[in-house]
């Protein structure tokens, strides 16, 4: 009797193992119908239900509406924003210091010590290195932040220096137990040619000429084109500022190179180019005559020289 029971148990275990193996095999084998569907003749399209067609149409319409909205927004943006074409390296500048007293004066409970923490940024390209005359934290707050400790009634003038390949800048912070006072020093420019104060620009509307002076001596005289009578170039005294290598102007359907801004939307730039990046001959022939929409046009080589040679911040007079 016991032997029969043992045989019976073995039989049940065998059947369970066999059933599990068959189930796993069927699960791993791909569906023949699926293979047939995937191997349909390439010339024939699989059947698509009417509901899926309608859904696809709705999705397509939504995408088209979205693209239309984006295109209209981009078009509006293009009308008002100057878009740069090639990537241009930033203009090299001497350092300008921004000093922040982030903490202090903090006096200890026993009045044995007071301290300040000062953070400094230097706006410059290439990046400027910063140094301090003293740092009682020994660099614990990072390269741009220092801590100055003061003994009772002590005053200390913290000196700050920034320098890059263009020039140097310095400043000082006077610290005592009651207050801190930031004293900006003189900015020292190592190369006079990068100092805008040594230059001056005169634009003559009558002569259609732009004259650049360096240390009161004529450096270069450029033939230009100022604005038409209905779109005149503003007269007065201004200062050159940011530069843009290239821009397409959708309002006028032209492009130009070597933009140098001097007042709002008024800039120096090259003669106009068409969509194929060719100089528009008619506009080139108009150099020396009033023909622009208010900007001051220069020949391509003159515009390049003006853009690459002169630092920003030069005072100019338009008469």
List 119, 200, 224, 269, catalytic entry: 269
Determine whether 200 is an active site residue. no
List 22, 119, 200, 295, catalytic entry: 295
The β-bridge relationship of strands 296-298 and 209-214 is: unpaired
Determine whether 295 is an active site residue. yes
The catalytic site residues sit at 269, 295
């Amino acid at each position: 009797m016991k032997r029969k029971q043992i045989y019976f148990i073995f039989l049940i275990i065998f059947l369970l193992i066999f059933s599990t193996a068959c189930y796993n095999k069927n699960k791993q084998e791909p569906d023949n119908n699926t293979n047939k569907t995937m191997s349909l003749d390439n010339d024939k399209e699989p059947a698509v239900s009417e509901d899926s067609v309608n859904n696809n149409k709705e999705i397509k319409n939504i995408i088209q509406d979205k693209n239309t909205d984006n295109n209209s927004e981009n078009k509006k943006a293009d009308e008002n924003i100057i878009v740069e074409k090639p990537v241009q390296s930033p203009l090299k500048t001497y350092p300008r210091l921004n000093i922040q007293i982030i903490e202090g004066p903090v006096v200890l409970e026993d009045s044995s010590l007071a301290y300040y923490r000062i953070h400094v940024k230097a706006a410059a390209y290439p990046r400027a290195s910063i140094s301090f005359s003293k740092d009682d934290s020994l660099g614990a707050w990072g390269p741009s932040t220092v801590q100055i400790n003061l003994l009772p009634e002590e005053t200390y003038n913290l000196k700050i220096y920034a320098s890059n390949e263009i020039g140097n800048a310095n400043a000082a912070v006077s610290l005592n137990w009651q207050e801190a006072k930031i004293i900006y020093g003189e900015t020292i420019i190592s190369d006079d040619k990068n100092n805008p104060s040594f230059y001056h620009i005169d634009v003559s509307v009558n002569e259609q000429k732009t004259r650049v002076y360096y240390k009161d001596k004529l450096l270069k005289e450029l033939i230009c084109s100022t604005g038409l009578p209905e779109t005149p170039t503003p007269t007065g005294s201004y200062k050159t500022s940011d530069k843009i290598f290239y821009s397409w102007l959708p309002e006028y359907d032209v492009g130009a190179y070597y933009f140098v801004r001097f007042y709002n939307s008024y800039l120096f730039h090259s003669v106009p180019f068409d969509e194929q990046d060719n100089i528009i001959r008619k506009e080139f022939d108009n150099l020396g005559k009033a023909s622009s929409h208010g900007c001051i046009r220069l020949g391509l080589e003159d515009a390049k020289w003006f853009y690459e040679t002169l630092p920003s911040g030069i005072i100019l007079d338009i008469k």
